[in-house]
Structure 1
Amino acid sequence: MGEGGTGMGIVHLLREVTVELALFQGEFARTNGLHTTDVRALICLLDAERAGAPLTPGELGARLGLHSAGTTSAIDRLERAGHVERVRDVHDRRRVRLQVSEQAVALGERHFGPLIAQTLDLLGTFDDGEVAAVRRFLTGVRDAAKSRHA
């Protein structure tokens, strides 16, 4: 595989995409007075809520690779900003789950919504086989990256 459309060319393109997305995420953080870790925390929390499994502070820290004090600091910043709330687990009152506020969701939708819409429009031009290939590739890259820091 050469440098062009396959092999290392794809790796370099993926690297460019990650840089652009990180810059876009950083812009959201700056615009909303957040630390980049706070934005990553919000993404993790939203993904967990969407999957029907809201995170505890410890679970969030593990996903972010933070120690307890760093996790607490991030949650405290998000809570003070009105983006996250600590709520008691309905099944185990001793556990605390983290819930993203509607305010934070609305901020995210305003900033990321247009990019998501463009991405979905682009994906809509792909046939089912192409979508499956993209999913398989991104899942594989994600899993490879996870295995390097797990």
Structure 2
Amino acid sequence: MSTPSEPDPAPELEIVHLLRATTVELGLHSARFAQRHGMHPTDVRALIALMDARRAGEELSAGRLGAVLGLNSAGTTALVDRLEREGLVRRVRGARDRRRVVVEVEERAVQLGWASFGPLIERSVELLRGYDEHQRSAIRDFLRGVREAAAGGE
């Protein structure tokens, strides 16, 4: 509860609660995608990480993918093996260092993801086009800050 000298936190809390509700809805959307395609939620997280790396022009080794997902070596191997059997990823030699084996997302996974998440992405882009660059910058800063706070644990 705020005191007379403190501003009312309600407007900020409303945004925080909307962010939480959005996070829940996005999680449910992802869970439906996983269930529809016989995947574990971690499989979906792995595919997202691999697609993000691809978009950024980065290569992910299995070890780095496991670290991103918080998996141990055995869990990461099982995950990559499972996704490879499903034709969603492949192990290849690194482009920068041919001695290194990296995991790449297959086009089939991109198509599956786009079929499910594409309309949501398109709607989000449409909404963002309604904001000017200053507003988008504020949204970007806010989301980065929340992401960093969440990644920090506790």
How high is the TM-score relative to the length of structure 1?
Answer: 0.93
Who is 1:30 aligned against?
35
Among residues 90, 99, 102, which one is paired with 1:85 in the alignment? 90
- The answer to whether the aligner puts 1:138 opposite 2:140 as a matched pair is no
Among residues 49, 60, 65, which one is paired with 1:60 in the alignment? 65
- The answer to whether the aligner puts 1:70 opposite 2:75 as a matched pair is yes
Q: How many residues align?
A: 148
How high is the TM-score relative to the length of structure 2?
Answer: 0.91
Instruction: Kindly state the Cα deviation for residue 3 of structure 1 after the two structures are TM-superposed.
Output: 5.4
- The answer to whether the aligner puts 1:121 opposite 2:130 as a matched pair is no
Asked if the contact 2:59–2:94 (Cα under 8 Å) also holds between the matched residues in 1, the reply is: no
Q: Which runs of 4+ in 1 moved over 4 A?
A: none
Label 1:2 to 1:12 Cα distance change in 2 as closer, same or farther (>3 A).
farther
Who is 2:48 aligned against?
43
Amino acid at match of 2:98: R
Bigger radius of gyration among the two: 2
2:52 and 2:63 map into 1 onto residues whose CA distance is 16
Asked if the contact 1:2–1:9 (Cα under 8 Å) also holds between the matched residues in 2, the reply is: no
1:127 and 1:114 map into 2 onto residues whose CA distance is 22
Listed as ranges, the gaps of 5+ residues in structure 2 are 1-6
Asked if the contact 1:48–1:55 (Cα under 8 Å) also holds between the matched residues in 2, the reply is: yes
2:22 and 2:9 map into 1 onto residues whose CA distance is 17
Question: RMSD of the alignment, in Å?
Answer: 1.3
Instruction: Kindly state the Cα deviation for residue 122 of structure 1 after the two structures are TM-superposed.
Output: 0.6
Instruction: Kindly state the Cα deviation for residue 10 of structure 1 after the two structures are TM-superposed.
Output: 1.6
Q: Alpha-carbon deviations, 1:44-103, whole Å to 9, x = none?
A: 011011111120001001111111111111111110110000001133232111110011
1:13 and 1:3 map into 2 onto residues whose CA distance is 14
